[in-house]
């Protein structure tokens, strides 16, 4: 590879937490695997009409045999196409397509009222809807457009998570949390940019950083829910096309993050609850690193530095 040709795996290597990394579906996350079956589950997906919502999460949960997919987005016509795609994969799957503004509390409440009437309690929530723009410096950006990213990328997931948890009800107290099974899964789609400074991307990256912390709060306040924020990798989508410098690296399949989501919703992955992962990371290695992650409080957002009076007592 010449020095002028970017390594397409550059960001995968840069962000690696596991030795093995992937850019497409592999056996451990194959949604058709019986061990990852989503039979009987109701899955709510936002931003389901296009991009990784439709090509990743809808496709993967349909392949995993979910009972029903609740598809949320603004475009009714695009949602109809997503429904057709899900049923082509799994003819027995039920779908409920709802045109929703995820940043509007009344719209979200109406959607979850419809979900409750048809299915009772949902099992999985995928907060995928997001906006990348505006791409501008803080000096030059339009303030209303800058704040709109927070409305969609943070307020939206907050409203959806609150409505989802409201249907679940309070965390059970009769059984010790560690002995009780995970009763629901929330997956928040984030970005690796949340932990770095990317000039001209402040609204997107800061709103996603706040989403990561929302994830941590959900995990802290209800240990019976698995809540994880997932960076999907670099996927060729309409959104990623707005950032031309990423084009040489956009080699991840949308099914990769969709299948990771299926894996997170299977079994008990609560050791990752409240934490950040990248879809490229090998999930079997993550399981083997469970004690390292928990004992070192890794994959969380924190302030760097040495703190506490004990550091001065040593000297």
Name the pLDDT band for 72 (thresholds 50, 70, 90).
very high
Give the separation between CA 185 and CA 302, rounded to whole angstroms.
24
Q: What is residue 180's predicted lDDT score, i.e. its pLDDT?
A: 62
Sheet arrangement for strand 124-127: 94-99, 68-73, 42-46, 124-127, 184-189, 225-231, 276-278
Across 254-283, average pLDDT: 98
Each residue's pLDDT tens digit, 165-209: 999 999 887 654 555 678 999 999 999 999 999 999 999 999 999
Each residue's pLDDT tens digit, 95-144: 999 999 999 999 999 999 999 999 999 999 999 999 999 999 999 999 99
Q: What is the pTM of this model?
A: 0.94
Length of the chain: 315
Delineate the domains of the chain, giving CATH numbers in brackets. 10-313 (3.40.50.720)
**Beta-ladder partners of 225:** 184
Tell me the average pLDDT of the chain: 94
Q: Give percent of the chain above pLDDT 70.
A: 96
- Compare 218 and 310 and report the one with higher pLDDT: 218
Across 7-13, average pLDDT: 95
Q: Which of 41, 119, 148, 208 is catalytic?
A: 208
**Beta-ladder partners of 277:** 230
pLDDT tops 60 at residue 73: yes
Name the pLDDT band for 4 (thresholds 50, 70, 90).
confident
Each residue's pLDDT tens digit, 75-109: 899 999 999 999 999 999 999 999 999 999 999 99
Question: Residue ranges of the alpha helices (H) in the chain?
Answer: 10-14, 51-52, 59-63, 76-89, 105-119, 143-150, 156-168, 202-221, 254-264, 283-288, 290-295, 310-313
**Beta-ladder partners of 48:** none
Each residue's pLDDT tens digit, 230-250: 999 999 877 767 777 788 899
Catalytic residue status for 204: yes
pLDDT tops 80 at residue 23: yes
Q: What is residue 171's predicted lDDT score, i.e. its pLDDT?
A: 86
Residue 163: other Cβ atoms inside 10 A: 21
Q: Are 260 and 29 in contact (CB under 8 A)?
A: yes
Q: What is residue 3's predicted lDDT score, i.e. its pLDDT?
A: 58
pLDDT tops 70 at residue 159: yes
Catalytic residue status for 304: no
Q: Which of 119, 204, 276, 289 is catalytic?
A: 204
């Amino acid at each position: 590879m010449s020095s002028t040709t970017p390594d397409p795996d550059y960001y995968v290597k840069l962000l690696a937490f596991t030795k093995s990394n992937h850019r497409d579906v592999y056996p451990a996350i194959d949604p058709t695997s019986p061990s990852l079956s989503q039979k009987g589950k109701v899955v709510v997906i936002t931003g389901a009409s296009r991009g990784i919502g439709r090509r990743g999460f809808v496709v993967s949960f349909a392949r995993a045999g979910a009972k029903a997919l609740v598809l949320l987005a603004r475009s009714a016509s695009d949602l109809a196409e997503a429904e057709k795609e899900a049923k082509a994969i799994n003819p027995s799957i039920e779908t409920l397509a709802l045109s929703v503004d995820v940043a509007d509390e009344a719209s979200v409440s109406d959607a979850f009222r419809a979900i409750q009437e048809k299915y009772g309690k949902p099992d999985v929530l995928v907060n995928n809807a997001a906006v990348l723009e505006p791409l501008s410096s803080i000096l030059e950006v339009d303030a209303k457009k800058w704040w709109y990213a927070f409305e969609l990328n943070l307020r939206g997931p907050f409203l959806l998570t609150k409505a989802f948890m409201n249907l679940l009800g309070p965390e059970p107290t009769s059984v010790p949390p560690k002995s009780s099974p995970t009763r629901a899964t929330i997956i928040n789609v984030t970005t690796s940019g949340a932990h770095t400074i990317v000039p001209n991307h402040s609204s997107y990256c800061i709103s996603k950083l706040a989403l990561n912390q929302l994830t941590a709060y959900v995990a802290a306040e209800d240990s019976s829910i698995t809540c994880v924020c997932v960076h999907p990798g670099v996927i060729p989508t309409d959104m990623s096309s707005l950032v031309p410098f990423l084009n040489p690296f956009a080699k991840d399949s949308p099914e990769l993050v969709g299948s990771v989501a299926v894996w997170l919703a299977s079994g008990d992955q609560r050791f990752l609850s409240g934490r950040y992962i990248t879809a490229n990371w090998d999930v079997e290695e993550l399981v083997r690193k469970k004690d390292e992650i928990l004992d070192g409080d890794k994959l969380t957002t924190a302030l760097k530095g040495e703190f506490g009076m004990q550091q001065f007592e040593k000297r």
